[in-house]
């Protein structure tokens, strides 16, 4: 599986469409190249996007929660009821639904941030600020890739 990498800022056209960066299109599963899954992030005022494989992984993880728990109810309701499958046209453009644009305060431009197995859509200034804050926090706490790679090997 290819990963969603890098960051881009694209304009939203007069019809409300935005181009999905070509590297992001290439990261979509071959079997479902013309669809992305969009949903409100539960961690920030952004939109998260992914392919169907990532959605299946999220579903499995939620399904592993205690069916009778509030966590199960909260995650299944907050994630699945707000998912909006979106089609990509032949030119690689798609519509961001108004409800999602309003949630993320997106107007004329959108910032795409690769997150590995998924990506985020941000209002550009807010997204750049979030990226800078993340970098500062890692540096302040002296965290490195080696830290997370060695933790996984234990």
pLDDT per residue over 39-65, tens digit each? Answer: 999 999 999 999 988 999 999 999 999
Separation between Cα atoms, residue 37 and residue 87, nearest integer Å: 9
What count of Cα atoms within 13 Å lies in the side-chain half-sphere of residue 141?
A: 11
Q: Which two tokens stand for residue 105?
A: 């305060």
Name the pTM for this structure. 0.88
pLDDT of 101-119, one tens digit each? Answer: 999 999 999 999 999 999 9
**pLDDT, position 128:** 96
- Identify the CATH assignment for 7-123 out of 3.40.1550.20, 3.30.1540.10, 3.40.50.10240, 3.30.1050.10: 3.40.1550.20
φ, ψ for residue 132 (rounded to 5)? -65, -40
Report whether 112 contacts 8 (CB < 8 A): yes
């Amino acid at each position: 599986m290819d990963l969603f990498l890098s960051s881009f800022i694209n304009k939203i056209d007069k019809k409300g469409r935005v181009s999905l960066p070509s590297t992001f299109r290439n990261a979509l599963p071959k079997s479902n190249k013309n669809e992305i899954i969009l949903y409100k992030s539960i961690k920030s005022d952004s939109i998260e996007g992914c392919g169907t494989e990532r959605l299946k992984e999220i579903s499995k993880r939620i399904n592993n929660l205690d069916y009778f728990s509030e966590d199960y109810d909260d995650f299944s309701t907050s994630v699945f009821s707000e998912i909006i499958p979106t089609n990509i046209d032949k030119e690689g453009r798609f519509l961001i639904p108004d409800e999602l644009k309003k949630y993320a305060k997106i107007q004329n431009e959108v910032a795409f941030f690769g997150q590995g197995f998924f990506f985020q859509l941000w209002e550009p200034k807010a997204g750049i600020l979030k990226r800078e804050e993340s970098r500062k926090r890692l540096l302040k706490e002296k965290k490195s890739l080696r830290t997370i790679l060695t933790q996984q090997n234990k």
